[in-house]
Chain A
Amino acid sequence: MTESILIGEKVRLIPVDADRDSKLFASWRNNSEYLRLMDGDFALHFSIEKMKKWMEENELSDAVAFFMIKNKEDNQIIGDIGLSGFQGKHSNAFVGISIGDPENWGRGFGTDAMRVILRYGFGMLNLHHISLTVFEYNPRGVKSYEKAGFKLEGVQRQFLNRDGRRWDMYRMGILKREWEELTHTN
C-alpha cells in the first residue's frame, strides 16, 4: 500500500537524479514562459553544472522534499514538484510545481502530481497545512490547484512587476482536514 503513495492516475513521483535532471531543467529553462510561470524572481538561465551542484547540495537534506514527475504512460520525466519551507515539525510546507514541456501543459499531469504530493505531505509527513502561490496571469494553474483541493486564502496585490505592469499573486492553501474530507468524498 505504501508503494502507491507516490503514484497517481497519470504520474508517479521519483527521486531527483542530479546528473539526469540538471540537463532536463536546463532545457526547460530555455523557455522564458516556463520561468515566468514558475518563479517570481527574474528569468535567468543556469548552466547544467550549476543546476547539478544545486541538486547535489539538496541531496539527503531534510529541509526539502523534491521529486521529479514521471508520465506513467511513456515513462518520460515531465516536471518536478516539491515541498520546502517547512515550519516547525508537522505544521506547514510550501509546494512548488512545474511541468517542463509546454506540450504537456493542460493535460492533467500537474493536478495529478499535486494530488500525489498532498497524499505524501499529509499522509506521510503529517503536515497540517500546505501552501502555494500562483500568479494572476496563470489561470490554468489556479484551476488545477482548485481541482486538487486548494482554496484561495488571499491576494498579494500587485506583487509582480512584469512587462510594464503590476500583477497580483494569489495565495492558496489546503488544511489536512480538508484533504481528508476530499479523499473520503472521492
Chain B
Amino acid sequence: MINDKLFESQDFILTAIDFDKDPEIDSLYSLNLRYARYWCDSLIKPLSKNEMKKKYEKIEKKVDEGGRVVHFAIRTKTDLHLIGYMRINILWSLGAGWLVTAIGDPEHYGKAEEQIIPLALNYAFRELNLYRIEFDLPEYEGEKSNILIVNGFTLDAVNREVIYFDNRFWNELLFGILKPEWEALQEVKA
C-alpha cells in the first residue's frame, strides 16, 4: 500500500499557489521582515500584492524549467487559509536538497513547522528519493532548532555571523540529515 497522504499533516495541507487569493495574504505577512526575508533575494522589504505575484511567477518558472526546486503553499486543512510555504531546492546529481519552511501566520509559528518538517522529509526521501537534506537556519529563529533535532537533523556547521538582521550579525546554523538516519528514526517511531 502506498502512502496517499504525501501532502497532508494533522492540521495542514500542501497545495499549489493560488494566484488570485494568495498575493494579498502573503503581502500582509511580508510586513514582518522575518517572513519577507524568505521572499527577498537581496534587500529585505515588504512586498506588494503585485510583487508577490511576480515572485510566484518566478518560482513557478523555476519549477517548470529546471526541475531543481519544488514549492508548495501551506494551508490550514479546515479552511484552506494560506499560512506560508515549503520549498526544497535540489541538486539532483548529488541527491541533495535544501528545505525551507516559511511561516507567515503568527498563529501557527512552531506548530506548523512541527508538522510540516516531517511531511517535507517524507516527501524528500520517499518521493524525490534524495539522500541528504539541509536546513539553513538563521540563529534568530533558533527556536526551530529543537524541531529539527527531534526530526533527526544534526547541526553540521555554523556559518559565523553571516546574516545581518535587526541591527546585529547572526550565525547561520546548517543542519543536515541523511536518508539512513531518517529511516532509522522512522523504525524507532514505528
Interface residues of A (CB under 8 A from B): 40-42, 63, 86-92, 128-129, 131, 153-161, 166, 171, 173, 175
Q: Which of B94, B134, B164, B174 has the most CB of A within 10 A?
A: B94
Q: Is B19 engaged at the interface, CB distance under 8 Å to the other chain? A: no
Are A87 and B160 neighbours in the complex by a CB distance under 8 Å?
Answer: no
| In the complex, residue of chain B having the shortest beta-carbon distance to the beta carbon of A94 | B162
Chain B residues, Cβ within 8 Å of A157: 132, 154, 156, 176, 178
Are B44 and A153 neighbours in the complex by a CB distance under 8 Å?
Answer: no
How many A-B residue contacts, CB cutoff 8 Å? 81
| In the complex, residue of chain B having the shortest beta-carbon distance to the beta carbon of A40 | B94
Chain A interface, DSSP helix/strand/loop, else mixed = strand
- Among A154, A156, A161, the residue within 8 A (CB) of B95 is A161
Are A131 and B162 neighbours in the complex by a CB distance under 8 Å?
Answer: yes
Are B94 and A171 neighbours in the complex by a CB distance under 8 Å?
Answer: no
- Among B134, B159, B178, the residue within 8 A (CB) of A153 is B159
| In the complex, residue of chain B having the shortest beta-carbon distance to the beta carbon of A166 | B131
CB distance from A179 to the nearest CB of B (A): 13
From known contacts A128-B161, A157-B178, A161-B94, infer whether A88 and B156 are also in contact, taking CB-CB under 8 Å: no
Are B94 and A159 neighbours in the complex by a CB distance under 8 Å?
Answer: yes
New A-B contacts (14) at CB < 8 Å, excluding given A41-B91, A91-B162, A91-B164: A87-B163, A88-B163, A92-B162, A128-B162, A128-B164, A128-B169, A129-B169, A154-B156, A155-B156, A157-B154, A160-B94, A161-B93, A171-B156, A175-B161
Chain A residues, Cβ within 8 Å of B158: 153-154
- Among B44, B91, B94, B134, the residue within 8 A (CB) of A88 is B44
CB distance from A157 to the nearest CB of B (A): 6
Chain B interface, DSSP helix/strand/loop, else mixed = strand
Task: Give complex CA distance A129, B170 in Å.
Answer: 11
| In the complex, residue of chain B having the shortest beta-carbon distance to the beta carbon of A174 | B160
Listed by A's residue number, 18 A-B pairs whose Cβ atoms lie within 8 Å are A42-B93, A89-B164, A91-B163, A91-B164, A92-B159, A92-B161, A92-B162, A128-B164, A129-B169, A154-B156, A156-B174, A157-B132, A157-B178, A158-B178, A161-B94, A173-B159, A173-B160, A175-B161
Chain B residues, Cβ within 8 Å of A173: 159-160, 162
Annotate B121-134 by CB proximity to A: 1 below 8 A, 0 otherwise: 00000000001101
